[in-house]
Structure 1
Amino acid sequence: MIRLVEFEPEHFPTLTIWLRSERDLVQWGGPDLTYPLTEHQLEQMVEEGKTTPPARLCWMAVDVAQTFLGHVQLALDWKNGVARVARVIIAPEVRGRGHASALLEAVVKQAFSYRAIERTELNVYSWNTAAVRTYNKVGFSHEGLRRSSVRIGDERWDTAVMGILRPEWEARQL
């Protein structure tokens, strides 16, 4: 059982420990963040949740013992009714135990709890086959590929676009 708790400054050290390299940071947060991840960068993410309506919601995932299992964010485009799942990470010490599916189920449920949201989407690097498999399991469909969209060192990464619509999500909940 996973529960989402609001991401607070006291969680910052836990999250930054999970991001051990520039590659980890880009995989988690995209190419616009700088390594090492700073408190200032994290504070800016939290601040986006204080607007009305919120532009971004950030959570830590915990189990019944309050052990941190992961982190996830939801960027909200209220004008177009789109939520974007972003910055998903499972704590390194608990990976491979099914927590990613539970975390994603919880965040998609949260996204569609807002009547204004009709679509939930995400970006994932195409080489991250474990994540792609998990997103498919939760109901996301592959919608496209942005080839060579990110540079990390000497590598170029393709970004897959995946999405799920409200009727698709609701049909899975029956």
Structure 2
Amino acid sequence: MKITLRIPKQTDYDTIASWITDEKPFSRWAGPSLPFLFVAENLPELLAVEGCSNYCLSDIDNNCVGFGQFWPGKQGAVHIGRIIISPEARGKGAGRLLCEKLVEKARQSTGGSTVTLRVYRDNHAARSLYSSLGFFVIESESIDDLLFMSTTANRSRKSGA
């Protein structure tokens, strides 16, 4: 399967908006401070984080099948977030491809070797994926329902990412 990471177009945000049909999944993906009743064309501004870069994972036909961001994190790390995969592409390896490509792009763009993310404790599929990519939990940075995870360039190379 030919998959590429590219800058999203406005039509991609329309597609992404169609993947989220109610408030709880939207809040878990975008964050509790963003309003669920949104217009797809406003997603680029709603999702903006200072210094962030947005990317789509696109299939061979250039259709958006995934989305993720990265931005400067704490102490020189780069933080990835707002990762989402099309319902039709879930369970087919698209999440792994998106994360691998996003981590690689984040490191190339920032020069950072440490990559961090947050994941809901009850999102077992995502936690398993991130662990397999070399991310480990840092409990001291985690909160009740969210785990803080980190990896370094050496660690993810050892895991095969």
Q: TM-score, normalised by structure 1?
A: 0.80
Note the C-alpha offset of 1:41: 4.2
Q: 1:133 to 1:171 in 2, by over 3 A?
A: closer
Show CA shifts across 1:82-132 (max 9, x none).
Answer: 111110000011211111111100001111114631311000110110110
Identity of matched residues, %: 25
Q: Does structure 2 retain, via aligned residues, the 8 Å contact 1:81–1:116?
A: no
Where 2:75 maps in the other structure, the secondary structure is coil
1:163 alignment partner AA:
S
Partner of 1:6: 7
CA distance in 2, matches of 1:115, 1:27: 26
Residue equivalent to 1:66 = 62
Show the 5 A alignment for 1:47-86: 55-77=51-73, 80-86=75-81
- Cα distance in 2 for residues equivalent to 1:40 and 1:63: 24
Distance 1:117 1:44, change over 3 A: same
How many residues end up aligned between the 2 structures?
Answer: 157
2:143 partner SS:
strand
Supply the distance in 1 between the matched residues of 2:72 and 2:8 (Cα, whole angstroms). 16
| Displacement after TM superposition at 1:2 (Å) | 2.3
Q: Which structure 1 residue ranges, 4+ long, deviate > 6 Å from structure 2? A: none
Aligned residue for 1:22? Answer: 23
Q: Please give the per-residue CA displacement for 1:30-79, whole angstroms capped at 9, x wherever unaligned.
A: 11211023333423546x5xxxxx700001111222232111111224x8
How big is the alpha-carbon RMSD for the aligned residues of Structure 1 and Structure 2? 2.1
Alignment partner of 1:146 is 2:143? yes
Distance in structure 2 (CA, Å) of the matches to 1:173 and 1:94? 22
> CA separation in 1, counterparts of 2:53 and 2:110?
16
Deviates most, 108-117 or 15-24: 108-117
Structure 2 stretches of 5 or more lacking a match? none
Alpha-carbon distance between aligned partners in 1 of 2:152 and 2:99, rounded to the nearest angstrom:
15
Q: Is the 2:114–2:151 Cα contact (8 Å) retained in structure 1?
A: yes
- In structure 2, which of residues 64, 88, 91 is the aligned counterpart of residue 93 of structure 1? 88
Cα drift, residue 27 of structure 1? 1.6
Query: Equivalent residue of 1:167, what SS?
Result: helix
Q: Is the 8 A contact 2:30 2:47 kept in 1?
A: no
Aligned to 2:37: 36
- Amino acid of the structure 2 residue aligned with 1:123: R
2:123 aligns with 128
